[in-house]
Chains A and B, each alone.
Chain A
Amino acid sequence: MNKQIDVIDTTLRDGEQAPGIAFTASEKLAIAKALDKAGVPWIEAGTPAMGAEEQQALRRILGAGLKARIFSWNRASSKDIAASVACGFTTVHISIPVSDLHLRYKLGKDRTWALKELADTAQTAIDLGCEVSIGAEDASRATPEQFLELAQLAADLGALRIRYADTVGCLDPFDVHDIFTHIMPRTPLPVEFHGHNDFGMALANSLAACSAGASSVSVTVGGIGERAGNAALEEFVAAAHSVCQIETGISLAACEGLGELTARASNRPIFPYKPILGSRNKLQDAHQKNSRLDALAIQPVLDRMMI
C-alpha cells in the first residue's frame, strides 16, 4: 500500500498573507468548504489575533460543520491564545522562531526565553482545553539540534506534531532529504514540512521531506503566499500520487475548482504555464482528474501545438 500523507492547507492563513490578497469572510468560508469537500483533512484558517473582523470570519468557518479539523495560527503569546479560544478554536498552532538569526534579530531574546514563552503559551492553551501543534519558524536556518530541542519540549507538552518551516525557501531537495533522514529517528513527534518557493523548489522539498519520513506537509491553493509563495496543494496532490506513489486522499478534480475560486478571491489570474491549474498545462480530461485513478490516468496533455 502506498504511503499516506496528511495535507495541511494554509491558504486562508499563510496564503492570504501574500501582499495584496484580502479575502472577505464569505470567500474564506467558501474556500474552507471547498477544501473540506476536496478531502483536505486539516485547515489552518487564520489568525484570530488580527482583530474582530477576522474573528467573525473564523467563527463562520468553525460553525460550518466541516469534516476537516480547523485550527488557528498563533504567536507564542497568551493574548493570541485567548483570541483563538474566544473564537471557539479547540486546536491551535503556536509558532516560535528557532534559528539564532530570528531569535537575535527579530525577537531580541535568547533561546531559553523563547522556549519558556512557548511552553507557557502551550500550557495555557492546553489548560483551556485545546490541542496544540508547534511551529519551528526558520528551522532551515537553525541546527538540527536546535530543532530537536524544541521538538522534545513540544512532545513533553503533549503536542500533536511539530512544523519544520523552511521560512525563506533556502533548502534544496537534497538538503531536505538529508536533514529529515537525520532528524526523523530522533524526533519524538510527527513532523510537518512547511516549504516556501523562493527558488521554485517548495514542492520538490515537500516531497523530499515525505520520502524521508515527514508525515504531513503544509500547502496553499495555487501556491499563493508571501514572496514567491508556498508549495501548491494541487501540485502536491498530483505529484505525490503520480511521481512518488504517495496518497493524500484528496480529489485532484476538486483542486481545479478550488484553484479558480481562490484565484478569483485573490484577484490574481492563473499563469497559463502553472502546472495543473494553468490553461496551457491542464490535465487531459475530467475523467482523468480524479487522483484515485491509476497513475497513468493523470498523464499531462501532450499537446504538441503550443500556440
Chain B
Amino acid sequence: MNGKAQIWADQTLNTGVLQGLPRDTLSETARLLSKAGADLFDLQLTAWHRYPDKVSEFAFAGQVRCIIDASAQQVESAWQAGFGSLLLTYTFQHWRSMEQDLADVLSAGRDKGLSLSLHVVNASEAEAPAIKAFFPILQRYSVKTLIIGDRDSRLDPLQTFELLDNLRVDAPCLLGFHAHNSYGLATANAYAAMRAGAAEVAVAAAGIGCCGHAALEEVLLAGRCIGGQELAISGTLAADLATVLAYLGYDTPANKAVIGQAIFSHESGIHVNGIGKDHRLYEAFAPELVGLSRRVVIGKHSGTTSLKAKFDEWGLPLEARVAKQLLAKIRRLAVAKKNIVEDMQLKRLYYRMIRRSHMRISPAKGGLRA
C-alpha cells in the first residue's frame, strides 16, 4: 500500500450535531478533525435541522455529506439546507427489491445534480454475489460510492478483506466500508477494508458514535506504522482528538491506544529498565509522532532502576539502602491511593527519610507519613 488511497469519512462531528454543540464549537471540532485527517463529515439531516443556518455558512461546508433516509422528500430537504452531497442510508430486506425501494430517491438526487453515495447498513449480512446483482442499478443512477455497512459487527478482518476484495473487482463505483464496534473489531475491520482497496472508510475519534466506529487515530497509525502507507500524522494528534472528545463531554481514557495520556508512561521495573536502554524495546512508535511524551512514573510495580532513573534526573544521590526502604513505602502508598506516586510526593518521602536517618529518629517515633 503506497500513498493515501482512501477518504476518511468522519462520524465524530455528527455526534456534535446530535448534541447541538454551539456553532463555534462545531466549527472548531471540524477544524481539529480535519487536522487529524478527516476528509469528509457525514451529518444527519434530521439532527442538522436544529441549526437555523444553511450548511454553506460553515467553514466545513465543502467537506460535508448529508445522511438521509431513502426518501425523495428528504432529498428535497437536504437540498434546501444547502447540502451538495448525499449519503442515502438503506437497510436491505431483499437485494431484488432494492431498485424498487430506491428508484425514487436516486432519481430525485440525480435530477438535482447532487453527488450520491449509498450506505447499505446491513450489507455484511449478504453474500458478495447478491450485492453484485445490484451493481447495474448503481451505474444507472451514477452512484458515486457504495458503502458496505456492518451494522451488527458481524465481520472479522479476514472476512472483511475477502468481501471487499471480491466486490472491488466488478464494482461500477467506488467502494466504502462502515464498521461498527460491538465486539472491538472495528479498527481491524476498517484496516482490512483499506488493505482490500476500499476508497473510503468510516472512522470516529476514539471510535465513538452509535454502536461504536473504527477509531480514526488507530486506523491512521496502523495504516502508517504497520501497513506502510504514506499517511501524514499531525504532531498534535493526541491533544487535538482529546479536545474534540472534551467538547463532546468525554474524557479520553488514559490508556486509549494512540492518544491516551498514559500510553508512554512506564512504571514496572522491567519496562523502565528496557526503555532506559532503548525505547524501542517497549514502544511501538515514538511518542513525538502523535505529540505525547515518554514518562517514567513511580508506583506499585517500580523497581530500584526506576527510582535510580528519577533521582539521576533530579541530580539527587540515592543509596541502595535508602532506595530499598523508599521502594517499600512507595508500594504501600501506591496501593493506598490507587495511583502513581507523583514526583513531589516522592521527593517529600525521600527528604523525610534522609532527615530521619541523619537525626537518627526511630521510625516508631518519627511517624513517617506521605
A residues lining the B interface (CB < 8 Å)? 16-24, 50-51, 53, 75, 101-102, 105-106, 138, 167-175, 177, 196-201, 203-205, 207-208, 211, 223-229, 232, 235, 238-239, 242-244, 265-269, 271-276, 281, 283, 299-304, 306-307
Q: Are B263 and A177 in contact (CB under 8 A)?
A: no
A300–B152 CB distance below 8 A:
yes
The answer to whether A244 and B253 have CB atoms under 8 Å apart is no
Kindly state whether residue B161 has any CB partner on chain A within 8 Å: yes
Residues of B within 8 A of A171 (CB): 226
Min C-beta distance of A185 to chain B, whole Å:
19
A171 to B265, CA, bound (A): 21
Q: Is A269 a contact of B300 with CB atoms below 8 Å?
A: no
What 7 new A-B contacts, CB under 8 Å, besides A22-B300, A204-B187?
A19-B266, A198-B258, A200-B215, A201-B218, A204-B157, A204-B185, A281-B181
Contact A268–B254 (Cβ < 8 Å): yes
Enumerate chain A residues within 8 angstroms of B225, measured Cβ to Cβ.
Answer: 170, 199
21 pairs across A/B with beta carbons < 8 Å?
A18-B262, A22-B338, A22-B339, A51-B331, A105-B277, A105-B280, A106-B281, A174-B158, A177-B158, A196-B284, A198-B285, A199-B222, A199-B257, A200-B222, A200-B258, A227-B283, A228-B256, A228-B257, A239-B183, A271-B206, A302-B152
A175 to chain B, nearest CB (A): 8
Which residues of A lie under 8 Å from residue B187 when comparing CB positions? 199-201, 204
**How far, in whole Å, are A218 and B157 apart by their CA atoms in the complex?**
20
Chain B positions 170 through 199: 1 when the CB is less than 8 Å from some CB of chain A, otherwise 0: 000000000011111101110110010000
Asked if A281 and B211 make an inter-chain contact with CB atoms under 8 angstroms apart, the answer reads yes
B278 within 8 A of A: yes
- Give the distance to chain A from B281, nearest Cβ to Cβ, in Å: 5
Q: Which of B18, B151, B157, B227 contacts A306 (CB 8 A)?
A: B18
- Given that A199-B218, A244-B156, A271-B206 are known contacts, is A235 also in contact with B184, CB under 8 Å in the complex? yes
Which residues of B have CB within 8 Å of A238? Answer: 182-183
Instruction: Indicate if the CB atoms of A306 and B15 lie closer than 8 Å.
Output: yes
Smallest CB separation, B313 vs chain A (Å): 17
Interface size class of B (residues with CB under 8 A): 35 or more
Stretch of B102-110, B267-275, B358-366 on the interface side: B267-275
| B contact residues around A22 at 8 Å (CB) | 299-301, 331, 334-335, 338-339
B158 and A211 within 8 A (CB): yes
* B257-A208 in contact (CB<8A): no
Q: Would B267 and A302 count as touching, CB distance under 8 A?
A: no
Q: In the complex, what's the smallest C-beta–C-beta distance from A299 to chain B, in angstroms?
A: 6
Chain B residues closer than 8 Å to A244, beta-carbon distance: 156
Contacts of A167 in B (CB 8 A): 282
A1–B260 CA distance with the chains assembled, in angstroms: 41
Interface of B is mostly: loop
Chain A residues lying within 8 Å of B340, measured Cβ to Cβ, are 19-20
Interface residue? B155 (CB, 8 A): yes
Q: Which residues of A contact B218 (CB under 8 A)?
A: 199-201
Which residues of chain A come closer than 8 Å to B253, judged between CB atoms?
268-269, 271, 274
A243 neighbours in B (Cβ, 8 Å): 153-156, 183, 185
Check B267–A173 contact: CB distance below 8 A: no
Does B291 belong to the interface (CB within 8 Å)? no
CB atoms of B212 and A281 under 8 A apart: yes
B242 CB to closest chain A CB (Å) equals 13
Q: How far is the CB of B343 from chain A (nearest CB, A)?
A: 14
Q: Does B255 contact A (CB under 8 A)?
A: yes
Say how far B267's CB is from chain A's closest CB, in angstroms.
4
On whether the beta carbons of B283 and A168 are closer than 8 Å, the reply is yes
| Residues of B close to A303: CB separation below 8 A | 210-211
Give the residues in chain A near B138, CB-CB below 8 Å: none
* Interface check B251, CB cutoff 8 A: yes
- Residue from B161, B268, B338 in contact with A226 in the complex, judged by beta carbons closer than 8 Å: B268
State which of A101, A201, A267 has its C-beta within 8 Å of the C-beta of B338.
A267
Contact among B183, B221, B284 for A203, CB-based, below 8 A:
B183
Give min CB distance, B153 to chain A, whole Å. Answer: 6
In Å, the complex CA distance between A267 and B299 comes to 14
- Rank and list the top 9 A-B pairs by shortest CB-CB distance, nearest first: A204-B188, A200-B218, A300-B182, A228-B257, A22-B300, A239-B183, A235-B184, A267-B338, A19-B267
